[in-house]
Amino acid sequence: METLETVKTQTTERHRREVLNERMVLFRKTAGDNIETILLDEQREMLRATQQEVMRVLDAPREELEKAYIVAKVESFFKDLGLDKLQKIIAHLSEKVEELEKENDSTRELLTKEMFDDTTGLLKKKYLMSFLQTSLAAYRREADKRPIPYTIIFFDLDKFKEVNDTYGHLAGDAVLEMIGRKVNEIFQRESDIKGRYAGDEFMLVMPQCNSQNAHILAEKLRKEIENTPVLISDNGFSFEIKVTISLGVLTAVLEEKIQGTTGDLIRSLISETDSLMYNVKRQGRNSISAKEVNFGRMPDPEGVLT
């Protein structure tokens, strides 16, 4: 007797109908009997095959019905939550996020314009001094535990007035722009503070930078600027402007018991560094004058602050 799987493989519709008719006759004869009470194995196998066929036919739409039921339940769940309102809220929040991002971008642009010099891209003096105050105050506290080198560099352009007088202020601005670019290329630590102090004077602050490394960086900046001519184009003519800088480099080793306020310390450091820079001016320009000093050592046994 052929099984259900054999029936499925038959190639003619006629044979399939004959087999199904035979099964239907047997099914009608035994419909009321328990399958285990049927004595003939052949009849029992045919009945099982017929039952399986019926279940297969019923299972297909049942799966689809179950899917539809689940979808309906999910839709009902979200409907109860007020999905439409939720979607509107999400859309509204998305719009607000975009508005805030635009406002943040606008605020960032305003802050950048407010804090940084348009020509050089370095901090304006007001913010330069503010960051210096905050930074130095923090490192003064650290100096109670261990000595900390704190370097300040002052530099300005040599004979910059002649550049403006000879080539004009637009050319002078191009030179200042080059200066700012070189400063940002060389001094890249997050703790470094870089600003335009006044006119063609600049200040660089490098916490935890010893005198040796400070001198290396200062010399690198001096050479970069000396070897970077600024190309100027004007009315069809092109020419180069070469400039040099003079630098004062002061490395203050902060130690215990620093006397005075942070403001007093700043004024002292700036005055000392400014004097170093002008020493270079008096000695011929385009060079570096460097010095290391100690601030705030503990009193010696006789009570004298060294």
State the residue range of the domain holding 23.
4-78
Looking at the domain assignment, is residue 100 inside a domain?
Answer: yes
- Tell whether 189 and 48 lie within a shared domain: no
Quote the mean pLDDT of the chain: 78
- Tell whether 215 and 250 lie within a shared domain: yes
- Tell whether 137 and 272 lie within a shared domain: yes
**Full-model pTM:** 0.63
Residue 184 has pLDDT above 50, yes or no: yes
Residue 207 has pLDDT above 90, yes or no: yes
Task: Give the pLDDT band (50/70/90) at residue 21.
Answer: low
Q: Give residue 76's pLDDT.
A: 62
| Residues 6 or more apart in contact with residue 223 via CB below 8 angstroms | none
Looking at the domain assignment, is residue 300 inside a domain?
Answer: no
Tens digit of pLDDT for each residue in 24-70? Answer: 555 555 444 454 454 455 555 666 666 566 555 555 555 555 566 66
H helical segments located in 116-124: none
Q: Helix or strand or coil: residue 57?
A: helix
- Tell whether 147 and 235 lie within a shared domain: yes
- Tell whether 109 and 160 lie within a shared domain: no
- Tell whether 106 and 133 lie within a shared domain: no
The answer to whether 190 touches 130, Cβ cutoff 8 Å, is no
Q: What mean pLDDT comes out for the span 69-86?
A: 58
Rg of the chain on CA atoms, in Å: 44
Looking at the domain assignment, is residue 46 inside a domain?
Answer: yes
Q: Give residue 111's pLDDT.
A: 74
Nearest to 181 by CA among 224, 236, 239: 224
Looking at the domain assignment, is residue 306 inside a domain?
Answer: no
Helix 13-30 to helix 41-81 angle (10° resolution) is 90
Tens digit of pLDDT for each residue in 105-132? Answer: 777 777 778 889 999 999 999 989 999 9
- Tell whether 284 and 146 lie within a shared domain: yes
Most confident of 57-61, 83-87, 231-235, 299-303: 231-235
- Tell whether 122 and 111 lie within a shared domain: no
The answer to whether 155 touches 287, Cβ cutoff 8 Å, is no
Task: Spell out the SS3 assignment of 201-262.
Answer: EEEEEEECCCHHHHHHHHHHHHHHHHCCCEEEEECCEEEEECCCEEEEEEEEEECCCCCCCH
- Tell whether 140 and 281 lie within a shared domain: yes
Nearest to 273 by CA among 286, 256, 297, 292: 292
The answer to whether 222 touches 289, Cβ cutoff 8 Å, is no
Tens digit of pLDDT for each residue in 232-258? Answer: 887 778 889 999 999 999 999 998 777
Residue 7 has pLDDT above 50, yes or no: no
